[in-house]
Structure 1
Amino acid sequence: MVTYKKRYNDSTQVACIMVAIMTPKLGRHYEGYWSYEMNKDLMEKYHKQARQEKYEVVKSTIDNMMKEGEPISSHVQRMQRYMDRLIKLNVNFDQELEINIMLNSCTSYYDQFMLTYHLNNNETTLSQLHNLLRTTEVGMN
């Protein structure tokens, strides 16, 4: 009986916390629901919407090509915002894929850089890649 009361109290606390962090309108709708019921209902309501958003962000990320004459920093920052959004949507990918997507989105002016980058086979972070691309951009001007 003690275990049941503890679990009942824990479940009630979780449900209260869930309702408390919702918008007032949504919170009023879920008053009286158990946390499991709330979670199930929210998943049913918002799963399709999240899937559609993931699709649109992935598509935008892949379709986002650097424009001729665009500074590399603004392009990298825009791509980074897409990557950050994907992470928030629980789209998991490793840093190597992130860098490959970034390199693929650059204009043909960076072809020699990409060849050298891949030949050197260096492990870099996205910020290190950004610095390398900026240095290359300065050298091309």
Structure 2
Amino acid sequence: MANKNLSLRSLLEKEKLNGINFLDWFRNLRIVLKQERKEYVIEELVPDQPAANAPRADKDKFKKHMDDMLDVSCLMLATMSPELQKQHEDMNAYDMIQNLKEIYEGQARQERYETSKALFQCKMSEGSPVGAHVIKMMGYIQTLDKLGFSVKDELATDVILQSLPDSFKPFVLNFNMNEINKTLPQLLGMLRTAESDLKKNGSKSILLIHEAKGKKKAKYKGNGKSKPKGKDALKPKKGISKEAKCFYCEKSGHWKRNCPLYLDEVKKSKANGASSSGINVIDDNI
């Protein structure tokens, strides 16, 4: 455990705090203190010393806090530039952090601005890996959270979906229409699956399948003509058979509707003003 602690503390010794690198230094400090279970020292005010007749547990707790505070204060001072050491050598760990935050608050604000700008302007180019793209955006979101600007999952999801190229439009449409709620890691998994499907089927196939949903099937076509329906399907496709017999003149080779004698009789009836309810009725079933 001692070797591990020494390795983590070396993170702070690589580049001493000089002010410009405060955010990186503070991030590494929190990593070290979290591993050593001493992060509370820079987050909580120094407790009041227990009275002489206080319970033993309260006295032990106070002593531990003071011992940990001394250890953390020395660590912080040892990883500062000489100028900052002189400014903070008489402060405890909690007061040091509060003072440093106040001094370099503007720097944190600038980093927040740059990070949020990178997040909202992030766009994935067509054909690039969706996994690397989403992980990069998740990194921006995590950085903003550490800077005190928390992005809720709903907004983070919208920003990620808006950054995707056109090939993911069917996925985004389906995601929004079904009001799917997922964590960012779950969204990442879904996008990787969608990416795999796109590679297998092609973006055009996916779009066509999506657009075809809900549409009626195409009508049957044969030789460029629509399939016949109703009485037309029962009509013969060829001409009149030679065996056909006219029921009007009783001759073969034509039907009543084509009979010259019948047509002539109809013409005469019309000319004489005869009623059309009798002879001029053409029987289509003959």
Could you state the TM-score of these two structures normalised by the residue count of structure 1?
Answer: 0.80
The 10-residue stretch of structure 1 (116-125 or 52-61) with the greater mean CA deviation from structure 2: 116-125
2:103 pairs with one of 42, 45, 58: 45
Matching of residue 54 in structure 1 with residue 112 in structure 2: yes
Matching of residue 78 in structure 1 with residue 136 in structure 2: yes
| Runs of 5+ unmatched residues, structure 1 | none
Structure 1 residue ranges, 4+ long, deviating more than 4 angstroms after superposition:
34-37
CA drift of 1:122 comes to 1.8
Deviations 1:1-34 (A, max 9, x none): xxx9728x88x94864553342243444301135
CA drift of 1:73 comes to 0.9
Instruction: Indicate the RMSD between aligned Cα atoms, in angstroms.
Output: 2.6
Q: Calculate percent identity across the aligned residue pairs.
A: 32
Distance of 1:87 and 1:45 partners within structure 2 = 20
Partner of 1:133: 191
Which amino acid is the alignment partner of residue 154 of structure 2? E
Distance of 2:165 and 2:121 partners within structure 1 = 13
Distance of 2:89 and 2:162 partners within structure 1 = 49
Q: In the superposition, relative to structure 1, how do residues 133 and 5 fare at CA in structure 2: closer, same or farther (>3 Å)?
A: closer
The correspondence of residues 1-141 of structure 1 with structure 2, limited to 5 A, is 6=49, 13=66, 16=70, 19-22=73-76, 23-25=79-81, 26-33=84-91, 38-141=96-199
Could you state the TM-score of these two structures normalised by the residue count of structure 2?
Answer: 0.42
Aligned length: 136
Larger helix proportion of the pair? 1
Distance of 2:139 and 2:94 partners within structure 1 = 33
Q: Which has the larger radius of gyration?
A: 2
Q: In the superposition, relative to structure 1, how do residues 74 and 122 fare at CA in structure 2: closer, same or farther (>3 Å)?
A: same
